[in-house]
Structure 1
Amino acid sequence: MKKIINKLLVNHSLIYKLFLYVATIVLVVYLFPKGGQFKYEFQKGKPWEYENYYAPFDFAIQKTEDEIALEKQQVTESSKQFYEYDENVVLQVRKSIDEKIENALLNSELIEEEKVKLRELVNKVVTDIYEFGYIETQNNIKNNNQLITLKMGNKSQDIEADKLFKSSQILSFINSKIGVQPFTQEENIVLNIIYEELKPNVKFDTIFTERVLQENLSKISYTKGLVAENERIIFKGDIVEGDKLIILNSIKSEFESQVWSKSNYNWIVFGYTILVALAFLMLLLFLRKYRLDIFENNTKVTFIFFNIILIVLLITLIVKYDAKYIYVAPIVILPLVLKAFFDARLGLFTHVLTVLLLGFIVPNSFEFIFLQIIAGIVTILTISELYKRANLFISVIQITFVYFVSYFAFSIIQEGNAQNLDWEKFIYFSINGGATLFVLPLIYVFERLFGLVSDESLKELSNTNSKLLRELAEKAPGTFQHSLQVANLAEASANEINANSMLVRTGALYHDIGKMINPMYYTENQSTNVNPHNELTPKDSAQIIINHIIEGVELAKKHRLPDRIIDFIRTHHGTTLVYYFYKKEEELSGGRADVSNFQYPGPIPFSKETAILMMCDSVEAASKSIKEPSAQAFDNLVEKIVNKQMEEGQFMNADITFKELQTIKKVLKKKLKNIYHLRIEYPE
């Protein structure tokens, strides 16, 4: 049992990767659509490249979206409108009019017979107006000849819309019925009473009309005809267009709409699992062979897998909602993020694998894969320094333009002309470009979640006005100037061998922050002739010098500097000796100095960037000791220091080639000559 536990502890990193690998495969396969797949790819206007195709089963021919939209429009236009007749309003109006007319006629000089005729006239006018009703607004009526359905209690009847009285018709109708103008005083009173008391009693029944419309729309058939089993659909070489295209789209939809049955579910899941497993295995093998430092870091591997799952999940949700919006998703954020934290090659490799996986989810997979891979390549090629916002903005414009051009080319190939372009797609691509700008805050979130460092953060850290660097400049001004010189040398060297120049510059600025603890024990900070080392033994002096590594690491952690920067503090002296005090101890002890008391704790550099810093730090510090600067002196100094570090095996773990070392030597020699070049002596 103890052996098993020990093996688990020793191989815990590999076990975690295996668990992550399996969990990712399960999750991605789970997100894949639970429907069948049509195994043939075809495009409108292109020849059918496969053998003669016959219907594998009976299926219905589906109508096109344009046909369905036209039918819906026709049903909407022909669907009846329902209006409700309110009898209670009529009764209230009659009662009110009768009461007011009786009061008005009490003091009238008209004889009783004339009063009766006037009452009958009023009653007839009200009856005529409310025969079919008085409607307040006719916003829903498109024309007067339109048939509408009037609901009167439990009965309903179809009438023409112009039989309903409108507010604009009321006054003229009453005038025409009262009598011959000029009206008598009584007739004017009656006219005013009728006009004031009449109220609309017909209103549009929105709910019932909408319900009937939806019932009619639900009766629309989405199919037109049937294709029988074994019926020929298309010959090899036939152009995919017209009815052939409609039938092929119909059977493709039929396949995709079929939910996996129990009999084939396990087999299809097994097939998906193999393909997804292969894709992620290729990614792990790539990391193992070409990015070993990332492969051995579980946090970084988790981060890469997390981003892939995030993209797959995003596209899955969009496809489930409406597949036409898939180009809104800013997939190029994936290579952008990976390039920001790692490198361009890994970003592009991961992007291509992810897009291939998305081909199982999206419609028109070939078009989607082509567009996204091209966009990913453009992303990697155009964005060189993500922390420069102008670069990001210009690159987003270029990426969007590539989307436009690629989609335009696909459309004219499929349609045969440029008249049937789907202009909405261009809007989606524009939204995609805008969403891609969200990569900067997203990088910040990832930095906090996974403890990684991007170029954007390095830019902030390399600002010499930051709190820690200002403190270094105040407490140890000589060390600060030394760090600036080393940063310049390291940045120039990194640029020449295509290393991460921003990372090595930032690391160089912070590599000696431990000297702030005891600044006067370092010669660059000694402004007087008093040297505190004169009062110490060589062993004690060496220990103080060595301690600036440990103290620097502690100070960096206290100020929450990223691990990638702390690595430069740990490794910039590797396992070299504090040579001056070691030799001094040898002289005093007669050659019996203990090497372990004068050796830096390490580790040795493990990347190009940390190796560059070791060389630049040693060369810059040693160059101050040259009494008579000359080109030959600098050449000899650089060769001596770098060769000695190579002989001691300080670069054994750094992924740096002999050719790159020679290039760095040339850069250092050139830069030192520029720094210490002789000036013309001006006359006094």
Structure 2
Amino acid sequence: MNRFLERIQQKLGKLYTPIVMLLFSLLLFLIAYPSVRPKTLDVELYHVAKETIRATATVEDKEKTEEARKLAAEAVSPVFHYYPEFVKSQTSKVEVLFVTIDEINTASEKLYQEKIKEAEKNGETTMPAKPTSKEKAASLKEKLATNTNVASTFGSNLPDWSLIQLFDSDATTLKNIKATSIDIINEAMKSQISEDELTKEKQKAKDKLDFSDLSVQNQKVANLLIDNGIIPNNVLDEDATEVSRAEAKNKVQPTMILQGQVLVQEGHIVDNNTYRQIELVGLLDKKMSYQPAYGLIILLVMQAIILVFDTIQKKRSSLSEGRDMTLYGVLVVLSAIVMKSLELIQSSGASNVSMIYPAAMTPLLLTLFISRRYGIISNGFLAAYSLFIFMSDTGSGFGVVMALYYALSGMIGAIVAKTRVNKQLLFMGIWLAAFNLGFMLMINFYQNTNLLTTDVLFLLIYGVVGGLMSFVMALAIMPFIDLAFEPNAVLKMTELSNPNQPLLKRILTEAPGTYHHSIMVANLSANAVQEIGGDSVFARVACYYHDVGKLMNPMFFVENLPSGMVSPHEQLTPEQSRDMILSHVSEGVRILTEEGLPQTIIDICAQHHGTTLMRFFYIKAKEQNDAVTEEEFRYPGPKPQTKEAVVINIADSAEAAARAMSHPSLEEIENLVYGIIKSRVADGQFNESDITLKELDKIAVSIINGLNGTFHSRIKYPKLEKNNE
């Protein structure tokens, strides 16, 4: 598939990346569109709902809000104020009454005495009549009527017979009636009496007259005094009550219909309340809203802008750029499909199953195969994208929580070390599961929910499963990405390293010396590449094929000459020898291209000599013709572009030179390897790679150790002579 993508990229050129970006943006829109498309329902009142209907937006149910506020106001208890001073004011009214009675009695007696004296003075034989109790009562009424004091109304409310009874009583009796009445009123009004309790409290007070020393007739009068004297002292405060009711109303939160809330289950009757809620969220509105779809389009455009900006900054080759964009699109679309599948399962009744989503999978894979920046971009986009996917299944509040969960969980995948995920098995699996579990606990503690419930338990399990799935799915997808997008895929390299590969079998049979040389260079290169953190598997396989061009003329290369055979170069001019040697690079590129090997291996074949000088034949040519230039005897290149190519360049020359030495010592091997590296550095052969001097030193040490282990001088053990005895 890698070669297939390369061919498409070559045909489309600069249009490839925009086309890929447009294509996967369109796929992402189509995947999410069922969740954001405007919906109108054909719902009939008092009919069975044909499907489960959820709110597509968060709106306030004003009618329910008003009902709740009314109930809250009605639930407020009336505010009463207790006035203990009412005891004194009421008893003072009784005292005023009796003081007034005493005053009238005194005034009547005085007036009567004056009339007697006047009659005696005038010699009248008939004495004036004494004022009757009825007249006194009338006088009392008249006096109280002209008095504006509140206490005066107390006596005005008493019937005439009771006043006459009081005026008929002597001073001692009046004193007893007064004292008894005041004591009973005082005792009754020490407790709080509301309007509702007034009758009951009055009766309790009147019952105490049965235990007094008053006559039956006087008890009736005292009864009236008590009845008028006891009043409510725990009075309703209407203003305070209204304030309390207003506060209760204000504390009532608006009744909201939340996005994703189930309005009616499939098979249930659509009643008045349900129908009204469906209408409130706009599902019965024929003027459909496309705003969620517009929001999705904006998100997709923002993603495209970020990717374009990143591409401009990196300034990569169009081939590399197209490969990265394709892989990004494939993984993001795959994640969107997984997300949508979970949404369909959740909408069928499996609540909170969206938490199983492997949020770290795509960021992890993109970080490993492209760059950490791509992992971060995909993580942010997919978290925002989930708001649209689960739009109709979750409330807006929970949707934000879920997006935050996806973003934080995916962040773990984006910050993973850039080594093969199978080398981080224990760390990644445990870390992702533990992080998701911690997030779920944090959210539940924040919401103050009871952890000992089935729903919370399933949420915790979903979080752990989601973390493990991120790792397991990444591990499962990696080989397919390797094969489809990575030119140096492990499986592909393993296949190419098989000795039964046709090209390797040809090299073994037609150029055995070259085959052995390639194996030696492969061992040296793989070890050295591993020392500097490169791809040792690729380096080994690339070495197997780097000299495949020698198949065209194997006998023109010294390693393939049988022992004692004269080199064909003895019969050729330096220029002819040069052309034969140079051809193994161009022929190797041609053969590998025709056989469909990965471009990276073809690049190694082209770069393994760089633009180095073919010194032996150059010197010979120079001896024959002084006009010969170095450029005529240099390899066509290009120079090594990667660290792996640098290592193979050094190992190839070092192995061939060491093989030509007779029993080289460690010091000779060291001088050889360091000499090759110094001359290549001086010649600028490594200028186009990002190799460092520190890494070159590690490479030298590794190759020296490898050559020393192969070509070191061996001790000649003496032969044991046979005993002739």
TM-score w.r.t. length of structure 2: 0.55
Q: In structure 2, what is the equivalent of residue 105 of structure 1?
A: none
The reply on whether 1:651 has 2:691 as its aligned counterpart is no
How far apart in 2 are the matches of 1:606 and 1:326?
A: 46
Which of 545, 562, 566 is the matching residue for 1:530? Answer: 566
1:355/1:599 CA distance change after superposition, 3 Å? same
Q: What is the rounded CA distance, in whole Å, between the counterparts of 1:26 and 1:281 in structure 2?
A: 20
Question: Cα distance 1:506–1:641, how it changes in 2: closer, same or farther (>3 A)?
Answer: same
Look up the match of 1:373: 411
Counterpart secondary structure, 1:492: helix
Q: 1:408 aligns with which of 437, 441, 447?
A: 437
Q: Does 1:60 align with 2:256?
A: yes
Distance 1:455 1:621 in 2: 28
- Paired residues of 1:538 and 1:584 also in contact (CA < 8 A): yes
In 1, Cα distance between equivalents of 2:58 and 2:270: 30
- Asked if the contact 1:318/1:325 (under 8 Å) is kept, the reply is no
CA contact (8 A) 2:356 2:466 kept: yes
Match of 2:267 in 1: 214
Give me the whole-angstrom Cα distance separating, in 2, the residues matched to 1:274 and 1:546: 51
With over 3 angstroms needed to count, the CA separation of the structure-2 counterparts of 1:63 and 1:676, relative to structure 1, is closer
Listed one character per residue, the Cα deviations across residues 62-83 of structure 1 (whole Å, up to 9, x for unaligned) are: 6999xx89x98xxxxxxxxxxx
Paired residues of 1:608 and 1:656 also in contact (CA < 8 A):
yes
Post-superposition CA distance 1:417-454 (Å, at most 9, x none): 6873107625666666654453155236624xxx8341
Aligned counterpart, 2:322? 299
CA contact (8 A) 1:327 1:432 kept: no
Match among 597, 604, 618 for residue 582 of structure 1: 618
Question: Residue deviations 1:528-583, cap 9 Å, x none?
Answer: 33211112111111111110111111211222111010000001011122221111
1:592 aligns to what SS in structure 2?
coil
For the pair 1:357 / 2:381, whether they are aligned, the reply is yes
In 2, Cα distance between equivalents of 1:221 and 1:597: 89
CA distance in 1, matches of 2:298, 2:416: 35
| Aligned equivalent of 2:652, options 612, 617, 633 | 617
Contact 2:364 2:416 in 1 (8 A): no
In 1: Cα distance, 2:584 partner to 2:251 partner? 79
Q: Secondary structure at the match of 2:566?
A: coil
Q: Distance in 2 between matches of 1:613 and 1:513?
A: 15
The answer on 1:564 being equivalent to 2:593 is: no
Partners of 1:669 and 1:16 lie apart in 2 by 46
Aligned length: 470
Equivalent pairs: percent with the same residue?
A: 23
Task: Name the CA distance, whole Å, in 2 between partners of 1:468 and 1:424.
Answer: 53
Contact kept, 8 Å, 2:510 with 2:554, in 1: the verdict is yes
Equivalent in the alignment of 1:236: none
1:26 deviates by 7.0
Q: Which amino acid aligns with 2:329?
A: F
1:337-348 correspondence to structure 2 within 5 Å: 337-338=365-366, 346=371, 348=372
Counterpart Cα distance in 2 of 1:649 and 1:37: 67
Which of 655, 668, 674 is equivalent to 2:703? 668
Equivalence map 1:252-651=2 (5 Å) = 261=289, 270=298, 273-274=301-302, 277-278=305-306, 281-282=309-310, 285=313, 288=314, 297-318=320-341, 320-322=343-345, 324-326=352-354, 330=358, 332-334=360-362, 337-338=365-366, 346=371, 348-362=372-386, 364-375=402-413, 377=415, 380=418, 383=421, 399-413=428-442, 414=444, 415-416=450-451, 420-422=456-458, 425=462, 435-440=473-478, 442-443=480-481, 446-447=484-485, 452-527=487-562, 528-589=564-625, 591-651=626-686
The answer to whether the 8 A contact 1:483-1:512 is kept is yes
Q: Secondary structure at the match of 2:256?
A: strand
Over 3 Å counting, the alpha-carbon distance change for 1:482 and 1:216 in structure 2 is: same
Partner Cα distance (1:570, 1:37) in 2: 64
CA distance in 2 between partners of 1:220 and 1:379 (Å): 56
Note closer, same or farther for the CA distance 1:21–1:543 as it changes in structure 2 (3 Å cut). Answer: same
Q: For 1:263 and 1:427, how far apart are their aligned partners in 2?
A: 34
SS in 2 for 1:214: coil
Q: Which amino acid aligns with 2:341?
A: I
**Contact 2:339/2:354 (<8 A) preserved:** no
**Cα–Cα, structure 1 residues 312 and 443, in superposed 2: closer, same or farther, change >3 Å?**
closer
Contact 1:36–1:260 (CA under 8 A) maintained in structure 2: no
Partners of 1:14 and 1:37 lie apart in 2 by 45
Distance change (3 Å), C-alpha of 1:436 and 1:62: same
1:57 & 1:279 partners in 2: Cα distance? 44
- After TM superposition, give the deviation of residue 663 of structure 1 in Å: 2.2
Q: Distance in 2 between matches of 1:574 and 1:273?
A: 44
Deviations 1:363-416 (A, max 9, x none): 61222222233255558566266xxxxxxxxx5666444443233323333155
* 1:333–1:436 Cα contact (<8 Å) kept: yes
With normalisation by structure 1, the TM-score equals: 0.58
- Inter-partner Cα distance in structure 2 for 1:522 and 1:515: 8
Report the secondary structure of 2:407's partner residue.
helix
Q: Distance in 1 between matches of 2:405 and 2:509?
A: 60
| Offset of residue 21 of structure 1 | 5.7
What is the alpha-carbon distance in structure 1 between the residues aligned to residue 373 and residue 697 of structure 2? 30
Kept in 2: contact 1:572–1:605 (CA 8 A): yes
Aligned residue type for 2:457: L
1:411 partner amino acid? M
CA distance in 1, matches of 2:552, 2:414: 48
- The aligned amino acid for 1:278 is I
Q: Distance in 1 between matches of 2:526 and 2:267?
A: 69
Counterpart-to-counterpart distance in 1, 2:661 and 2:363:
48
**Higher Rg of the two aligned structures:** 2
On the 8 A contact 1:577/1:599 being kept in 2, the answer is yes
Which residue of structure 2 aligns with residue 229 of structure 1?
Answer: none
Q: CA deviation at 1:667?
A: 2.1
Q: Structure 1, residues 142-188: CA drift from partner, whole Å, max 9, x if none? A: xxxxxxxxxxxxxxxxxxxxxxxxxxxxxxxxxxxxxxxxxxxxxxx
Equivalences for 1:170-189 in 2 at 5 Å?
Answer: none
Specify whether residues 402 and 326 from structure 1 end up closer, same or farther in structure 2 by C-alpha distance, changes over 3 A only.
farther
CA RMSD of aligned residues (A): 4.5
CA distance in 2, matches of 1:436, 1:263: 35
Q: Distance in 2 between matches of 1:59 and 1:293?
A: 55
- Deviation readout 1:23-77 (Å, 9 max, x if unpaired): 7667657766648799xxxxxxxxxxxxxxx999965356999xx89x98xxxxx
For the 8 Å contact 2:360–2:471, the answer to whether it is kept is no
C-alpha contact (below 8 Å) 1:542/1:597 kept by paired residues: no
Distance 1:681 1:299, change over 3 A: farther
* Matching residue of 2:397: none
The aligned runs of 1:19-34 (5 Å cut-off) are 34=36
